Amino acid sequence: MKNFPAIVKVAGCLSMTALALTACNSSSKEEVSKIVLKDHSVTPALVKKMPGFENIQVFSLFGSDDKLPASPNFVFGGSADGAGIMKLANGQYALLVNHEDNFAVSRLVLDETFKPVSGEYVLNSTGGIWRLCSATLATPEEHGFGPLFLTCGESGEESRTHGLNPTDPATMASTSRELPGLGRWSAENAVPLNKNAYPGRTVIIIGDDDSGTTGGGQVAMYVSDRVGDLANGKLYMLRRTDRNQREMDMRVGTVYDVEFVEIENHTTLTGRQINEAVNRLGAISFGRVEDIDYRKGSAANNRELYFCVTGQNNTGVNAGYSRTKYGRVYKLNLDANNPLRGKLEVILDGDDRQGPARLFQNPDNIFVGENYVYIQEDPNGYGDETHDAYIYQYDIRTKQLRPVIECDHRRNASDAAKYNVNGRSALGSWEYGAMIDISDVIGSPDTYVVCVQPHTWRGTQYRGVDGGTLRPNEDQASQLIVIKGLPK
């Protein structure tokens, strides 16, 4: 996310009593036949396909200018980010979406054809309290507990992570649902590992999007020996076993031994005290840890993690260039028997301007399939941007990196003024939110929902639409698109 401060696939049986519906495991042939992927929005898809990917399909699903017949007063907020989806027993779908700068979460219902039909806010800025970025919808089938929508606060080191039941009624929108057990971080995402990674335990990886002097950005881990216990477990932070804290001392091609070390009494600590503790314990000081995901497939795959470090300018706190500037992607392999031990390596380094990631402009969100990683950019606005935000495809087997999608600012279109308020938007000023795999949920292979954050698409009609008290002047719009045809 921006310097103020995803990834989920849900394909299992869920309970949604507030909507008087229950999900089922998979789509029958009859149900699959009802899916019609097409443009449902009045807004064109604000992306364009890159060379070599002309055959993928892109659909404009929903945006801030769309009106829903069952919810005529609902306005989809700006900065759409973390998301999660579930299938319902009547063949419909529920889609939860974070609105980062509204500090809010909306819930859309889509019909059996995947057309949006209703919407409401289940968390507004009064209850959200903090900027809400990536999110993970935990389910019993995938993670061993839930359903629970974990949405992280990212408004500084005192922020918390919320845990929303997807069935929560809209009347609870002003109620905070923070989880003290996960600690205080300027967190991008809290990602529970697949239940098969460490059977009988709940392991959650947290990305700390901090760029400050004390500690910097962290990779944290919450571990409970009871499945679904998010209150009584222990909190740990990542360090190299040789105690070297400098991010830029790690290089592509070298594997580093790492360990997670306990932050004692973490539920009693402020965010500042947690940062002081991780610095004292010798944590790796990253330049803003963003989104995290695990590889899909076997239990061994599920212990193979990938995360983005978006980077920060090499001025001020980072004047010594100890942290990445243009961003990196790391792979973390956790020990099969002990999640507190692992191997860490840099797989893509944006600061190597001659290397495979030379085009990187601050990677942010990430989705990991079985064979491919998809990496979304959020340019930090250094002034040397060469393109608008990309989504890249990284082939785990061949290590090939290619741009798939680029944000389309419509600067030269007839409706340019609408999407470029106050003049032509700067190169790279838009970004992406979550990219979530919906293939198994809707019965359509290689299909994803992607959140687009067009930061210069603004207007008074989008102001304060979440209904909360903290962000009454937030006036951004945003969009959901569907992409079909990208392999996992």
CATH number at residue 434: 2.120.10.30
What pTM was estimated for this model as a whole? Answer: 0.94
Assigned token pair, 26: 């998979």
CA distance 222 to 237: 9
In whole angstroms, give the CA distance from residue 168 to residue 100.
19
- Is residue 4 assigned to a domain? no
Q: What is the Cα–Cα distance from 391 to 372, expressed in whole angstroms?
A: 12
One digit per residue, pLDDT tens: the chain, 488 residues?
A: 654 333 333 333 333 333 433 333 344 444 445 999 999 999 999 999 999 999 999 999 999 999 999 999 999 999 999 999 999 889 999 999 999 999 999 999 999 999 999 999 999 999 999 999 999 999 999 999 999 999 999 999 999 999 999 989 999 999 999 999 999 999 999 999 999 999 999 999 999 999 999 889 999 999 999 999 999 999 999 999 999 999 999 999 999 999 999 999 999 999 999 999 999 999 999 999 999 999 999 999 999 999 999 999 999 999 999 999 999 999 999 999 999 999 999 999 999 999 999 999 999 999 999 999 999 999 999 999 999 999 999 999 999 999 999 999 999 999 999 999 999 999 999 999 999 999 999 999 999 999 999 999 999 999 999 999 999 999 999 999 999 999 99
CA torsion sign, 402 to 357 to 446 to 41?
A: negative
User: Does a structural domain hold residue 7?
Assistant: no
* In a domain? residue 6: no
Sheet holding 116-123, edge to edge: 80-87, 93-99, 104-110, 116-123
Q: Tell me which residue of 277, 236, 88 sits closest to 167, measured CA to CA.
A: 88
Domain that residue 164 falls in: 15-484
Q: Answer whether residue 176 is part of any domain.
A: yes
Residue 226 lies in a domain: yes
Number of alpha carbons in the 13 Å side-chain half-sphere of residue 456: 22
Greatest alpha-carbon span in the chain:
60
What is the count of structural domains for the chain? 1
* 10, part of any domain: no
